[in-house]
Structure 1
Amino acid sequence: MKRLRMTSGHLTLAIVHPSPGTSGPMVSVPHENKYTCYLSTYVFLSVYHPRVRCLLGAEPPEQLDVDEEGSFVHSTTLTNKQRGNEVTVRPATLDSLSIHQLAAQGDISQVAAHLTKDGSLLSQQDERGFTPLMWAAAFGEKAALDFLLEKGADPKTIARERESALTLASSGGYVDIVESLLRHGVDIDTYDWNGGTPLLYAVRGNHIKCVEALLAKGADMTIESDSGYTPMALAVALGHKKIQKVLEDHILKLYKPPT
């Protein structure tokens, strides 16, 4: 569970989890960086193609972008590190968090409060086209995602660069969210402008269970990235041997002669 707190004028993220090896008291471990407003999606060819960088930032930004009102410019923050920008910001307050960021941290009560005031926020896209549901998917916040789906959020929304909630969840390895989105009929083979499908992103991240879930629902193994990598070729190039085995077993199952 993630909590936000103010420390020395800065908003920081605390990751709260059970003490190792126990089911007892919760301990709070402050995150080393300020509020981690980055998504876990990676361009799957980033290690091989210098021009391809992390889709939304591979590392947490050290500083946050805010607008003139002191609110987070959250999608700008997502790409700030990617672009090499460094900005100076004023301290943020909890009140400045948008519904997108509240969804990203799984704060269902605050998300509900925002929707009570303005129901249109459910489908509101930020400046890069991300909806609250997409933020929840990207950060692995299953309960928040389910809440948004129950309220009628569209899981099929596509962002400006054709990123989807399924792409974000697959890249992060959140198999429970992947399965939930697939049950809601999203396009399993959405191809974004960075040349990736959910399956390719899952392979890139070495997320075995996501790969298995996508294959079980019919993900296309023949779709190539812009640079010509199929899921199998990408797994081989990255040395993801367990992923290779999953893909090989799936191919054998597909072409197994009838008995």
Structure 2
Amino acid sequence: MTKKAPSAAGLALLDAADRGDVAAVRAALADGADPGTRDANGRTPLLRAALADRVEAAALLVAAGADVNAQDDREDSPWLVTGVTGSVAMMRALLPGGPDVTLTNRFGGVSVIPASERGHVAYVRAVLAETGIDVDHVNRLGWTALLEAVILGDGGRTHQEVVEVLLAAGADPLLPDADGVTAREHAERRGFQGIAAALRKAEE
């Protein structure tokens, strides 16, 4: 299927969203730009604003009816990328748009999983407290947010905090990966003593 080229107003909106130029976003919308306009990679103005953490521009686009769940050619959506950037402000700006917290990225993960991997403590805490996201969602690799924080994390204080937040939110420490290895076992193998201790306590 051939992609429809953006109109002049649509191009202006995409550019304004990238730059976070609120006045230009407002002008493009007033000029008839479709909030659902997509660039060559399938990215909407809202997705581009989310990627660049242009919170004020994103809020304006959401108010104009932009879809917070629209996915691009890589299966990224405005909501999903907040888990990558870790922007709590952007996450909250998108909430009025009704994000689908069950929507998955190309790895089969929900937003809390990449956030846990990257050590975005504030985001992990906020998304678990302010949405109904599944703390034990399993991605295509067979990993939960807890497993990902241990397997792909560095074992430092930040990732230990992520593990503690996940456990406090009810994450199941006994859920193993696809090979039957638990988060604690991974932590012990990697020498992450603080994380292993927290997981051991949670298993009791």
Name the TM-score, length of structure 1 as normaliser.
Answer: 0.56
2:56 to 109, 127, 151: 109
Structure 2 residue 165 is matched with structure 1 residue 197:
no
Query: 2 CA distance for matches of 1:244 and 1:217?
Result: 18
Stretch moving more, 193-202 or 221-230:
221-230
Q: 1:200 to 1:188 in 2, by over 3 A?
A: same
Per-residue deviation, 1:97: 8.0
Structure 2 residue 178 is matched with structure 1 residue 232:
no
Per-residue deviation, 1:156: 2.7
Higher strand fraction: Structure 1 or Structure 2?
Answer: 1
Structure 2 residue 165 is matched with structure 1 residue 219:
no
Query: 2 CA distance for matches of 1:234 and 1:107?
Result: 37
Q: 1:72 to 1:108 in 2, by over 3 A?
A: farther
Q: Deviations over 1:165-194 (max 9, x none)?
A: 111111111122112221211111111111
Any residues of structure 2 matched to 1:81-120 within 5 Å, and which?
98-117=45-64, 119-120=65-66
Query: 2 CA distance for matches of 1:115 and 1:105?
Result: 16
Aligned residues, how many? 161
Query: 1 CA distance for matches of 2:150 and 2:104?
Result: 21
Query: 1 CA distance for matches of 2:41 and 2:190?
Result: 34
Query: 2 CA distance for matches of 1:212 and 1:116?
Result: 35
1:36 corresponds to = none
Identity of aligned residues (%): 28
Higher helix fraction: Structure 1 or Structure 2?
Answer: 2
Structure 2 residue 118 is matched with structure 1 residue 172:
yes
What amino acid is aligned across from residue 201 of structure 2 in structure 1? D
Tell me how large the CA RMSD over aligned residues is. 2.3
Q: Confirm or deny: 8 A CA contact 2:44 2:70 kept in the other structure.
A: no
1:12 corresponds to = none
Per-residue deviation, 1:72: 6.5
What amino acid is aligned across from residue 134 of structure 2 in structure 1? D
Structure 2 residue 19 is matched with structure 1 residue 73:
no
Query: 1 CA distance for matches of 2:56 and 2:169?
Result: 33
Query: 2 CA distance for matches of 1:139 and 1:218?
Result: 24
Q: Confirm or deny: 8 A CA contact 2:173 2:202 kept in the other structure.
A: no
2:82 to 136, 139, 163: 136
Name the TM-score, length of structure 2 as normaliser.
Answer: 0.70
Query: 2 CA distance for matches of 1:181 and 1:237?
Result: 29
Q: Confirm or deny: 8 A CA contact 1:72 1:98 kept in the other structure.
A: no
Q: Confirm or deny: 8 A CA contact 1:171 1:201 kept in the other structure.
A: yes
Any residues of structure 2 matched to 1:25-40 within 5 Å, and which?
none
What amino acid is aligned across from residue 132 of structure 2 in structure 1? G
What amino acid is aligned across from residue 239 of structure 1 in structure 2? G
Q: Confirm or deny: 8 A CA contact 2:80 2:104 kept in the other structure.
A: no
Query: 2 CA distance for matches of 1:177 and 1:72?
Result: 30
Which sections of structure 1, spanning at least 5 residues, go unmatched?
Answer: 1-70, 75-95
Q: Confirm or deny: 8 A CA contact 2:143 2:177 kept in the other structure.
A: yes
Q: Confirm or deny: 8 A CA contact 1:155 1:181 kept in the other structure.
A: no
Structure 2 residue 99 is matched with structure 1 residue 147:
no
